[in-house]
Amino acid sequence: MSTSTRTEGTGNSAYGRKPFKRSKSHFADRITADGRDGWPVEAGRYRLVVSRACPWASRALVSRRLLGLEESLSLAVTDPIQDDRSWRFTLDPGGRDPVLGIRFLSEAYDARERDYPGGVSVPAIVDVPSGRLVTNDFQQITLDLATEWTALHRTGAPDLYPEPLREEIDEVMAGIYQDVNNGVYRAGFATTQQAYEDAFVALFRRLDEVSRRLADRRYLVGDSITEADIRLFTTLVRFDAVYHGHFKCNRAKLAEDPVLWAYARDLYQTPGFGDTVDFDHIKRHYYQVHTGINPSGIVALGPDPQSWLTPHHREELGGRPFGDGTAPGPVPPAEQVPAAVRP
Ligand SMILES: N[C@@H](CCC(=O)N[C@@H](CS)C(=O)NCC(=O)O)C(=O)O
């Protein structure tokens, strides 16, 4: 395990002129079927803490929906705006998470390791009985939901990380992580012209490559949705709303690439994807928290989210979104993104 420092933080001066570097998650225990790290998969025992603003946390939101884990793994949604104590439960009555009884996610980190010097990040999974953080390892959490939580999956849950495709999925995800998922942050938080330009060039080179790949195939790997699609989606869905302007990733908008735009809309309109997205949380978080790069805190109004609902025609490429499985059911009422901010 490595020691983590604050992750993307506020985009303020803390980074000096050093290139933006994402730190590794510090708490990397795994929740597994055999419980080898001391955390066995168990219905009702753990709480997933997310911000709907965060692309890394949103991966877990999508996986949990597709796999039908809503009842087994409960959900806490933080305020999209952190304060100096980081993520807080100000959206809940009395400003406390009703299950964990805490006001700040940092309390679960403290319960796990007092005086932990690193940052408090989402996604986080907390052990409800002890109130202790189990993991904030965003790269592993979704893989474990797909492969270790199988006993609790819904009937008809898709296989998001199929064994025969893992090598290809891992390879595709590695490039997308470096240049796209993390690349937008490297561009947005660059503190030198050169660092920004390097990130920008790599980002759009990779997006062009992914666009070519997706021109005649509906999904990134195989003919069904996999973990790779989830990881690309959570960046693409934020692209025009925040990365294009706020992070200066503006060679083109997502909506100007016909293939990627149709691919992203296809996923958005697939149950389990778009129904987790809150553009209000996304925009307020990025524009208001990163005061280093947006000192006025003014939140950009566009683009019109209705465009996400326009026909994509990607079904003409074939593919079976859920493989041998089926679509997830409706979002539990308590977890619905408010109608007022949905397209
Ligand atoms: N846990 C991961 C990544 C997850 C992550 O960066 N989450 C962001 C939100 S998108 C976060 O919580 N950052 C903490 C902060 O900004 O203080 C890490 O340690 O790098």
CA distances from 105 to 131, 153, 298, 338 (A): 10, 27, 26, 23
In terms of pLDDT, which residue wins out, 14 or 22? 22
Q: Which of 109, 122, 140, 281 to mutate to test the pocket of ligand 1 (most atoms within 8 A of CB)?
A: 122
CA of 120 to the centre of ligand 1 (A): 7
pLDDT at 196: 98
Which token pair is 228?
A: 């790779």
Q: What is the pLDDT of residues 251-294, one digit of tens each?
A: 999 999 999 999 999 999 999 999 999 999 999 999 999 999 99
pLDDT at 330: 97
Are 126 and 110 spatial neighbours (Cβ–Cβ below 8 Å)?
no
Q: Which atom of ligand 1 is nearest to the CA of 53?
A: 10
Residue nearest to atom 9 of ligand 1 (CA): 54
Q: Which of 2, 7, 85, 288 to mutate to test the pocket of ligand 1 (most atoms within 8 A of CB)?
A: 7
pLDDT for residue 142 is more than 50: yes
Q: Could you give the dihedral angle defined by the CA atoms of residues 60, 63, 65 and 68, in that order, rounded to the nearest 10 degrees?
A: -120
How many Å apart are CA 247 and CA 284, to the nearest integer? 14
How many Å apart are CA 87 and CA 111, to the nearest integer? 15
| Preceding omega of 123 cis (within 30 degrees of 0) | yes
pLDDT at 15: 40
CA of 77 to the centre of ligand 1 (A): 15
- For the Cβ of 292 lying below 6 angstroms from any atom of ligand 1, the answer is no
Which token pair is 135?
A: 């993991």
In the DSSP assignment, the letter for residue 153 is: P
Are 243 and 53 spatial neighbours (Cβ–Cβ below 8 Å)?
no
pLDDT at 101: 98
CA of 337 to the centre of ligand 1 (A): 22
How many Å apart are CA 244 and CA 241, to the nearest integer? 7
Pairing of strands 46-50, 124-127: antiparallel
Classify 148 in phi/psi space as left (phi over 0), alpha (psi -120 to 50) or beta. Answer: alpha
Instruction: Spell out the domains of the chain, with CATH numbers in brackets.
Output: 13-152 (3.40.30.10), 164-341 (1.20.1050.10)
CA of 336 to the centre of ligand 1 (A): 23
Which token pair is 33?
A: 């079927």
Query: Of 195, 208, 194, which Cα lies nearest the Cα of 256?
Result: 208
Are 285 and 75 spatial neighbours (Cβ–Cβ below 8 Å)?
no
pTM: 0.95
Are 162 and 222 spatial neighbours (Cβ–Cβ below 8 Å)?
yes
How many Å apart are CA 146 and CA 66, to the nearest integer? 10
Query: Of 256, 206, 274, 232, which Cα lies nearest the Cα of 66?
Result: 274
Which token pair is 139?
A: 């790269």
- For the Cβ of 22 lying below 6 angstroms from any atom of ligand 1, the answer is yes
Residue nearest to atom 16 of ligand 1 (CA): 9
| Preceding omega of 93 cis (within 30 degrees of 0) | no
Q: What is the pLDDT of residues 15-56, one digit of tens each?
A: 446 677 765 568 999 999 999 999 999 999 999 999 999 999
Residues in the chain: 343
Which token pair is 196?
A: 């920004």
Determine which helix (DSSP H) or strand (DSSP E) holds 74, and give its type and residue range.
strand 74-77
In what side-by-side order are the strands of the sheet with 46-50? 74-77, 46-50, 124-127, 132-135
